[in-house]
Structure 1
C-alpha cells in the first residue's frame, strides 16, 4: 500500500480515539460542575452569602442562585 492509499480501519480507529477523548472531556466537565453545585449548596446551607459563594467558585451570582433554586 502506498502512502496515498486510504486505510479505512486506521481512520476509524483515529475517529474512535477522538470521540473517546471528547467523551472523557465532557464527563470531566460534568463532574466538575456537579462538584461545584454541591459546594455551593453546602456553603449556602452554612449561611454563606451568594456573592461570596460565587466569588469562591468563580461563577456568577445568577448561576449560584439558579443552582440553589434547583434544590428547592
Structure 2
C-alpha cells in the first residue's frame, strides 16, 4: 500500500515543514504543516489554519513548493 502522505513528486509531508503557495493570487504566502494524516495536511499561515490535500502539494501553478524541512 502506498503512503497517502507523500506528494505526487515523492516528498513526504511532515509537521514543521514550510511550503510556499505557487498561486499568483497568493503572492509569497507560505504555510507551515502542523500535522498530517490520511492524505490531509493541517497547515497554518500564522493567522489562520486550514486543511490541504497532500495531492495538491506539488510544483504546478496552483500547487505548493517545499521551502524548508522546519525544525521538527
TM-score, with structure 2 as normaliser: 0.23
Structure with the higher fraction of residues in strand conformation: 2
TM-score normalised per structure 1: 0.23
Which is higher, the Rg of structure 1 or of structure 2?
1
Greater helix share, structure number: 1
